[in-house]
Amino acid sequence: MGLIVQKFGGTSVANVERILNVAACVKEETERGNNVVVVVSAMGKSTDQLVGLAKEISPQPNKREMDMLLSTGEQVTISLLSMAINQQGLNAVSFTGWQAGIVTEPVHGNARISKINTEAIQTQLSDGKVVIVAGFQGVTEEGEITTLGRGGSDTTAVALAAALKADKCDIYTDVTGVFTTDPRYVKSARKLLSVSYDEMLELANLGAGVLHPRAVEFAKNYQVQLEVRSSMEKIVGTVIEGEATMEQNLVVRGVAFEDEITKVTVLGLSNSLTSLSTIFTTLAQNHLNVDIIIQSTTEGGSANLSFSIHTNDLLETLKVLEDNKEVLGYEQLDAENKLAKVSIVGSGMISNPGVAAKMFEVLAANNIQIKMVSTSEIKVSAVVEEKQMLKAVEALHAAFELSK
Amino acid sequence: MGLIVQKFGGTSVANVERILNVAACVKEETERGNNVVVVVSAMGKSTDQLVGLAKEISPQPNKREMDMLLSTGEQVTISLLSMAINQQGLNAVSFTGWQAGIVTEPVHGNARISKINTEAIQTQLSDGKVVIVAGFQGVTEEGEITTLGRGGSDTTAVALAAALKADKCDIYTDVTGVFTTDPRYVKSARKLLSVSYDEMLELANLGAGVLHPRAVEFAKNYQVQLEVRSSMEKIVGTVIEGEATMEQNLVVRGVAFEDEITKVTVLGLSNSLTSLSTIFTTLAQNHLNVDIIIQSTTEGGSANLSFSIHTNDLLETLKVLEDNKEVLGYEQLDAENKLAKVSIVGSGMISNPGVAAKMFEVLAANNIQIKMVSTSEIKVSAVVEEKQMLKAVEALHAAFELSK
């Protein structure tokens, strides 16, 4: 008898009909003789509705209270799904984050899981029950409700799979797997049968929305076998594991993209040696994620620094920088909105030094200006204007022959 | 510096505008130099919406999961109200039932509070914070989420006031106080400036919807001074305390009424001596509340038994009786729906034996048939047909000169 963790996202539980569909999906898994732990997100747009209510009350709602508010979304889903499964004659029991023993660091809005006390879940599994856990949420050692930030339900599922030593973690979503690029925007996108953790990590980090990067990290660290698959269509998905079965020895395996990027520039940093670390330490302490970083030194000896962030974090980033202006010692701040990041990813890149050059060539040939560049061993990212994003993706997808 | 517990019901927090109004009301109390604990219900019709979702999934949803679902309603309100109060420059912190230390017996849907661990609230009050607590919910010793049943938020407020030794518990509602009868239906209804716990207990038990009877019981037992007042209009309400200041030496102080009453009849009970206690023990174990009970013995020696319940409990009551038919030893079950209960209440009744007779006389003069009768020291109740309920109320209100 195996143990499977299933995760269903917001679209898969958007209404009563879909929740009943999920219940059927859970039942099938139990009929294959497996114990099942199910992790669910909030129903469809319910999180957006809650955020809307909060914004009506306060332009910058208290973060602790925001977690208190948003965590109700998943709690609604777990109870309804449990009713649906009970209604089918199985025994199910739902757990909020705190009931499931998901302990996080004491941070609101973007907490990391610090440990999982699995006793309560194990007891219910031993009793033959299906255990339904609210994704996206946890509790601090002090009993404060926290949320895990964007895509946190994926992280909950993988962390539970790791803690419970599950045989597999199935991520059910509204797409049938991981594609060479987003099939909603690029028709020639092709589904991959398997990708490695590292490739998926880059794809996820780069905005391929099917899976949260932290979830992939967790899966890699604890060697949890993942499968991304459709909750609507019963077809094989994409397996994510240690060593991907290479379908073809492709250099580039996918093109990822992400909009709502803002480039922040700090001009005239007087003492670049210490101020650089001070800036990013300060931003990190405020839980502001910085992506690409570029530094240049001017003739006078001072430095200019640019970095990219999610546009949502702009106001808070500027506030942190302004509050620390004296310590940081810069002259001026600048921000450029409406940017996007386009990236090519593939393990094969390591041994193919010409890949980045080819990417820049393709973008230039399409009159797409590159604002920032970042590279790692298995990916190259370019920040471009948001309005040119899809054009860039299509050109790269074609140039690297990903639809074949 | 005093400590005030304020309770706001669903209508008072039905939308963002009203939540902001409640925040202002809380701020005013703090400006009078008091510490404040606020208890809130779910927003307006949100509980009904959640129940609707559950019923779409299952005709008889699992009770544990129902509590899991419904408890999200108050959690939404506490977080939004806390944001609103923080936005006003005060420090507020919200607590769910389990965070507030509200421990209940292990029953779902209708749990009683067994104790309140006030440490967490006390700590926040000492820090000068406004503490906002989710009404209607608690947690068992085993960490299961429970709800307190109808009007449970009142109970939460009074229990907290008792546990925290608050100076006063203000119940803010959509009416301006306790009336001689429901002013929505009877225009000549008059607001009472004060009533005693016992009178309020009877009024509350008899369906005067402003205050939950359990809350009044709690208040009486712990001598918590209550005031029922309006969240919209800034006028004095009705004070409920040990010895009511008698405005006039009225024999009858109010007329209460309640619809959706069902009369259940058990025919041909073979051994009435033991079966009577067995029936009501069994119903109580299933948390089914029985109100008026009438027993009559037939010529053959067997007995007939009638009792009244809330119509919502009918299916479950019949199921419990049928499941135990052999043990109980009866012949037949019968149920009569669409009934209502009309009651007159007043401490002065004790020394006025003619009150019940006058009530029956008034009802008879209005061609209203009495189906069941029940009396206590300070009230007389009559079960009548639902369609005659308001006619009975108006006739009694006039006959006992309550509008003067």
Mind giving me the DSSP string for B173-237? ESSSS-BSS-TTT-TT--B-SEEEHHHHHHHHHTT-TTS-HHHHHHHHHHT--EEEEESSS-S--
Q: How far is B65 from chain A (nearest CA, A)?
A: 5
Answer whether B61 sits within 8 Å of A68, measured CB to CB.
no
Q: Is the pLDDT of residue A113 over 80?
A: yes
Instruction: Note the pLDDT of residue B285.
Output: 85
Residue with tokens 């929505």: B184
Answer whether B50 sits within 8 Å of A76, measured CB to CB.
yes
Q: How far is B78 from chain A (nearest CA, A)?
A: 8
A79 shares contact with chain B (CB less than 8 Å): yes
Residue with tokens 């407020």: B157
Q: How far is A393 from chain B (nearest CA, A)?
A: 41
pLDDT average, residue stretch A5-21: 95
Contact (CB, 8 A) for A279 and A266: yes
Q: Cα angle vertex A364, ends A361, A366, to 5°? A: 115
Instruction: Note the pLDDT of residue A122.
Output: 97
> Residues of chain A with pLDDT > 70: what percent?
95
Q: Is the pLDDT of residue A245 over 90?
A: no
Beta bridge partners of B379: B345, B376
Q: Which residue of A has its CA nearest to B90?
A: A62
A358 shares contact with chain B (CB less than 8 Å): no
A contacts of B50 (beta carbons < 8 Å): 76
Smallest Cβ–Cβ distance between B62 and the set A56, A71, A86 belongs to: A86
A15 shares contact with chain B (CB less than 8 Å): no
- CA of A201: how far to CAs of A218, A391, B296, in Å? 10, 24, 77
Q: Which residue of B has its CA nearest to A143?
A: B99
pLDDT in tens, chain B (404 residues): 799 999 999 999 999 999 999 999 999 999 999 999 999 999 999 999 999 999 999 999 999 999 999 999 999 999 999 999 999 999 999 999 999 999 999 999 989 999 999 999 999 999 999 999 999 999 999 999 999 987 799 999 999 999 999 999 999 988 888 888 888 888 888 888 888 898 888 876 655 567 888 888 889 999 999 999 988 888 999 999 886 555 445 678 889 898 999 999 998 887 656 777 788 888 888 888 888 888 777 777 778 889 999 999 999 999 999 998 888 888 899 999 999 999 998 877 776 778 888 899 999 999 999 999 888 878 889 999 999 999 999 999 999 989 87
Closest CA to B86 of A143, A319, A57: A57
A contacts of B83 (beta carbons < 8 Å): 54, 57-58, 61-62, 65-66, 69
pTM: 0.79
Q: How far is B312 from chain A (nearest CA, A)?
A: 20
Q: Which amino acid is at B136?
A: F
- Return d(Cα A371, Cα A270) in angstroms, integer: 24
A contacts of B54 (beta carbons < 8 Å): 79-80, 83
Answer whether A20 sits within 8 Å of B62, measured CB to CB.
no
Smallest Cβ–Cβ distance between B16 and the set A50, A56, A82 belongs to: A56
Q: Which amino acid is at B173?
A: T
Q: How far is A245 from chain B (nearest CA, A)?
A: 42
Smallest Cβ–Cβ distance between A58 and the set B69, B83, B93 belongs to: B83
Q: What are the structure tokens assigned to A389, written together?
A: 């994003």
A contacts of B53 (beta carbons < 8 Å): 16, 76, 80
Q: Which residue of B has its CA nearest to A20?
A: B57
- Return d(Cα B79, Cα B94) in angstroms, integer: 6
Answer whether B65 sits within 8 Å of A86, measured CB to CB.
yes
In chain A the domains, ranked by start, together with CATH numbers, are 3-174 (3.40.1160.10), 255-399 (3.30.2130.10)
Answer whether B69 sits within 8 Å of A76, measured CB to CB.
yes
B contacts of A65 (beta carbons < 8 Å): 79-80, 82-83, 86, 94
Instruction: Note the pLDDT of residue A204.
Output: 67
Q: What is the ipTM of this complex?
A: 0.77
Task: Compute the mean pLDDT over every residue in chain A, rounded to the nearest whole number.
Answer: 90
Smallest Cβ–Cβ distance between A68 and the set B50, B61, B78 belongs to: B78
Q: Which residue of A has its CA nearest to B66?
A: A79
Instruction: Note the pLDDT of residue B135.
Output: 97
Instruction: Note the pLDDT of residue A278.
Output: 82
Closest CA to A384 of A370, A365, A398, A403: A370
Instruction: Note the pLDDT of residue B17.
Output: 96
Answer whether B69 sits within 8 Å of A53, measured CB to CB.
no
- E strand or H helix that includes residue A291: none
Answer whether B80 sits within 8 Å of A57, measured CB to CB.
yes
Instruction: Note the pLDDT of residue A357.
Output: 86
A82 shares contact with chain B (CB less than 8 Å): yes
Answer whether A94 sits within 8 Å of B68, measured CB to CB.
yes
Which of B:22-51 have CB within 8 Å of A?
50
Per the model's pLDDT, the better-predicted residue between A353 and A311 turns out to be A311
A83 shares contact with chain B (CB less than 8 Å): yes
A75 shares contact with chain B (CB less than 8 Å): yes
Instruction: Note the pLDDT of residue B12.
Output: 92
Smallest Cβ–Cβ distance between A94 and the set B65, B75, B83 belongs to: B65
Q: What is the pLDDT of residues A271-297, one digit of tens each?
A: 656 777 788 888 888 888 888 888 777
Smallest Cβ–Cβ distance between A16 and the set B53, B98, B120 belongs to: B53
B145 shares contact with chain A (CB less than 8 Å): yes
B120 shares contact with chain A (CB less than 8 Å): yes
Q: What is the pLDDT of residues A170-190, one digit of tens each?
A: 999 888 888 888 888 888 888
Q: How far is B334 from chain A (nearest CA, A)?
A: 30
A120 shares contact with chain B (CB less than 8 Å): yes
Instruction: Note the pLDDT of residue A276.
Output: 75
B244-282 b/e with 16+ CB inside 10 Å = b?
beeeeebbbbbbbbbbbbbbbebeebeebeebbebbeeb
Q: Cα angle vertex A325, ends A320, A330, to 5°? A: 120
Q: Which contacts of B115-119 are long-range, i.e. CB under 8 A and separated by 24 or more positions?
A: B116/B159, B116/B160, B116/B163, B118/B160, B118/B163, B118/B164
Q: How far is A142 from chain B (nearest CA, A)?
A: 10
Phi and psi, residue B133, nearest 5°:
-115, 135
Q: Which residue of A has its CA nearest to B57?
A: A84
pLDDT average, residue stretch A320-344: 91
Q: How many helices (H) and strands (E) does chain A have?
A: 12, 18
Question: CB pairs below 8 Å between A and B: how many?
Answer: 104
Contact (CB, 8 A) for A282 and A320: yes
A140 shares contact with chain B (CB less than 8 Å): no
Q: Is the pLDDT of residue A238 over 70?
A: yes
Answer whether A79 sits within 8 Å of B66, measured CB to CB.
yes
- Return d(Cα B148, Cα B154) in angstroms, integer: 10
SS3 B252: coil
B contacts of A89 (beta carbons < 8 Å): none
B contacts of A143 (beta carbons < 8 Å): 99, 120
A142 shares contact with chain B (CB less than 8 Å): no
A contacts of B120 (beta carbons < 8 Å): 143
Q: Are strands A113-116 and B194-196 parallel, antiparallel or unpaired?
A: unpaired
Q: Confidence band (pLDDT; 50, 70, 90) for A339?
A: very high
